[in-house]
Amino acid sequence: MLDDIPHAQAAAFLGIPYHRGLVNGAAITAWLRRTDKAPEYFQALSRIADRLTASLRVDYHLRRNRLRDWAIPEADWIRIVAEVTRQQRPQHRKLTTWPTVTTAAGTIYVWSQVTRSERVLHPRLPSGIRPATDKPPSPVRIARIISNPGALRSPSPKFENLKSVLDSYCTDVIAKLEA
């Protein structure tokens, strides 16, 4: 668990951006230099590694490989939309639209939840990731909204319901992967 491997390889294996691993590693290194806690830190890290090694582990790397070319199938997306629509109030149903960017965002959200990876690392991410200020918003930004609908200035029942339905769908995807 404490093998000495390159940062880029470790970040790819864990499904996190390469720079995040460097930044976190640099912060820990600086903290260890400022304090005399290095022995306790490495003992704790070793205990965590031993516990992880002894417990049943989910192979997120394998999940990422299996879902590399995956997208929510159209039939499943139709069922997801139908369930979200069923949960909405009638006045919201009339106003709700389902552009293709929402389908892509749903796929990115489910992929990131099942693989425990960053949304921006999705292998089939549509080209042209836009900054948050561009219109229309990118699938990554919409996936971020799905994951935390309460962060919007005004509540969005569509995204709250969509998150709930997609979280349930994640369970189905995981069950199929582990079958």
Note the pLDDT tens digit of each residue in 42-56. Answer: 888 888 878 777 776
- Claim to verify: residue 85 and residue 167 sit in the same structural domain: yes
Please give the structure tokens belonging to residue 162.
């969509």
pTM of this structure = 0.64
Contact present, 142 and 135 (Cβ < 8 Å): no
Q: Would 109 be classed as within a structural domain?
A: yes
Q: What is the C-alpha radius of gyration for the chain, rounded to an integer number of angstroms? A: 20
Crossing angle for the helix pair 157-178 and 74-87, to the nearest 10 degrees: 140
The share of the chain scoring above pLDDT 70, in percent, equals 78
Instruction: Quote the crossing angle between the two packed helices 38-54 and 18-34, to the nearest 10°.
Output: 140
Check residue 61 and give its pLDDT: 83
Asked if residue 149 and residue 76 are part of one domain, the reply reads: yes
Query: Is 173 a member of any domain?
Result: yes
Per the structure, the complete domain to which residue 15 belongs is given by 7-57
**Could you tell me if 30 and 82 lie in one domain?**
no
Q: What is the pLDDT of residue 135?
A: 57
Assess whether 85 and 173 both reside in one domain. Answer: yes
- Does residue 57 register a pLDDT over 80? no
User: For residues 136 and 150, what is the distance between their CA atoms, to the nearest angstrom?
Assistant: 20
In tens, the pLDDT along 60-84 reads: 888 888 888 888 999 999 999 999 8
In the block, which residue shows the tokens 């006045």? 91
Structurally, the chain folds into a number of domains equal to 2
Answer whether residue 150 shows pLDDT above 90. Answer: no
pLDDT > 60? residue 133? no
Closest by CA to 171, choosing from 121, 114, 91, 130, is 114
* CB-CB contact of 18 with 8 (8 Å): yes
Res. 168: pLDDT tops 90: yes
Residue 1 belongs to some domain of the structure: no
Of the chain, the percentage scoring pLDDT greater than 90 comes to 13
Mark whether 14 and 51 lie in a shared domain.
Answer: yes
The CA–CA distances, whole Å, from 78 to 41, 82, 111, 134, 168 equal 50, 6, 18, 28, 15
pLDDT averaged over the chain? 78
CA dist 12 → 82, 118, 122, 140 (Å):
36, 11, 12, 19
- pLDDT at residue 130, rounded to an integer: 43
Instruction: Report the candidate in 58, 164, 65 with the shortest Cα–Cα distance to residue 121.
Output: 65
Residue 153 and residue 71 share a domain: yes
Report whether pLDDT(110) > 70. Answer: yes
Confidence band, pLDDT 50/70/90 cuts, at residue 14: low
